Chain A
Amino acid sequence: MGGKVSCTLGEVKNRADLIIYWGGNPAECHPRHFTKYTLTQKGRYIPNGRKDRTMVLVDIRETPSAKAADIFLQVRPAKDFEVITVLRALIKGHAVDPELAAETGLSMEQLQDLADRMKKARFGVLFFGMGLSMTRGKHMNSAALLTLAAELNAYTKFVAMPMRGHGNVTGGDVIMRWTTGYPFGVSLSRGYPRFNPGEFSTIDLLIRGDCDAALILGADPGATMPQPAIDHLARIPTIVLDPKVTHTSRLARVHFTTAATGISAPGTVYRMDEIPLPLRPALKSPYPTDEEIVHRIYQAVAAKPPLPPAVMLSQATM
């Protein structure tokens, strides 16, 4: 994701006149996205709010979000990469084989119209969801879309932003980036960070049976992951931190009940546009926070004799 051309949601609110949602259903998954940040708000350079903006929804099926859109483009499943590639060609004025374009499920007129709108926009934004990044092509789709946004800056101002699902998944990326240099899937087994999705991504690690213990916090993989991954979590010693006894807790060797983030635990959380926000908990939990438990586990491990080579290396630098 290096070199991502992005902005804050405040800039979208104040400036964006073309808003494209791709492979996401904000009406059901991010209910206040339209009203708080993107569509309906009046902005500094968008004096009439919704009337000054055009919204395009690109998806494989007509979700409730389509009702909010001015233009709905129904792409054939698993053809997102092709649509993006055709758009990149049309924007640069290259000829596109109509037969290749027809495979996408969209007509040449629809594609040309979208390309024209993108070039003519004063400030365009592409919000992309898991319908793009988790289907055929996966991170290559995201990379193509980010390239499309970057290339459009030869003509106008254009940005892209992922629609992040879980509360502080953005914070996870940010924290891992400033501590290890990489956003996720980082191995510290040699005492220095190595990044390799596919090798160090959790589902791959679990399905291959590579890891021999797991600490799970802020997640419930026992309810969401593929069965072979869950089976491996049940085979190895798994430790869970969660405000509730979850599916993962039931297959774990150790479970800690912790205070609920933002409800009874204070701290900082990143919004999807990488703006950090403070939490204001309304309740006092009878349980310790995740932060306290992880810190105490750290201290308990640190009290043991160092293990070569990774532990010795890391301690030498601390």
Chain B
Amino acid sequence: MELTIVKNATCTFCGCVCDDIELHADGERITHTKAACVLGTSWFKNHTAERLYPDALIDGQPASVEDAIQAAADHLYQADMPLVYGLSNVTCETQREAVALAELIGGVIDSHTSL
């Protein structure tokens, strides 16, 4: 499989967010890292592009993304006080969408900062 090399890749494992990492990838997994620490190396090697899990689960059963979107929307719409929580290991673009969703459903939004 074709080897791709990404220079100055950004590691999101810890708050240092080191942006000088070199990644070697074979299309399915990251095979080699340069400049990353032990935590960063295991982070990069621990996630692959394989299809290891179903796209979505509803009540533990595999489901399509579209059905899961509808189920999620129903739960959040019916709730009186929904909570949106986490936001640590997602991008800022996702966080912005999450705030918009929290406002739409009239919920509470919170992150690891409150722990």
Binding site for B on A (CB under 8 A): 29-33, 36-37, 134, 163-176, 179-180, 183-191, 197, 200-203, 205-206, 210-219, 221, 236-237, 239, 241, 243-245, 249-250, 252-257, 260-272, 276-291, 293-298, 300-302, 304, 307, 309-311, 314-315
Contact = CB atoms under 8 A, between A and B. Distances in A.
Contacts of B85: 202, 214-217, 219, 221
Contacts of A269: 10, 12, 17, 91-92
Interface in B12-64: 12-20, 23, 25, 27-30, 37-40, 44, 47-60
A30 B14 contact: yes
A304 B23 CA distance: 44
B21 to A, nearest CB: 9
Contacts of A218: 86-90, 94
Nearest to A32: B37
A175 B15 CA distance: 16
A54 B113 CA distance: 30
A169 B112 contact: yes
A15 to B, nearest CB: 19
Contacts of A315: 104
A272 B49 contact: no
Nearest to B100: A298
A224 to B, nearest CB: 8
B53, B69, B91, B96: residue with the most chain A Cβ atoms closer than 10 Å: B91
Interface residues of B, number: 88
A215 B84 contact: yes
Contact of B81 (A211, A219, A294, A297): A211
B4, B28, B77: residue with the most chain A Cβ atoms closer than 10 Å: B77
Contact of A285 (B18, B23, B49, B92): B49
B103 A314 contact: yes
Given A212-B82, A284-B49, A304-B77, 9 more contacts: A36-B16, A179-B96, A188-B107, A197-B114, A202-B115, A215-B85, A271-B15, A277-B10, A294-B97
Contacts of B79: 211-213, 236-237
B103 A172 contact: no
A193 B60 CA distance: 34
Nearest to A28: B39
**In terms of DSSP, what is the predominant structure of the interface of chain B?**
mixed
A262 B11 contact: yes
Contacts of A254: 56-58, 68, 71-72, 75
Given A256-B56, A271-B15, A166 B76 contact: no
Contacts of A271: 15-17
Contacts of A179: 96, 99-100
A265 to B, nearest CB: 7
Contact of B105 (A217, A256, A281, A311): A311
Given A188-B102, A288-B65, A301 B88 contact: no
B110 A167 contact: no
A205 B25 CA distance: 42
26 contacts: A167-B11, A168-B89, A169-B15, A169-B111, A172-B112, A184-B111, A187-B107, A201-B110, A202-B115, A217-B86, A221-B85, A254-B72, A257-B56, A267-B94, A277-B10, A279-B9, A282-B23, A283-B25, A286-B50, A291-B91, A291-B97, A293-B65, A297-B72, A298-B100, A301-B76, A307-B77
Nearest to A314: B103
Contact of A256 (B14, B19, B68, B96): B68
A279 to B, nearest CB: 5
A254 B37 CA distance: 34
A134 B115 contact: yes
Contact of A213 (B55, B59, B83, B97): B83
Nearest to B9: A280
Nearest to A296: B69
A249 B110 contact: no
Contact of B47 (A180, A245, A264): A264
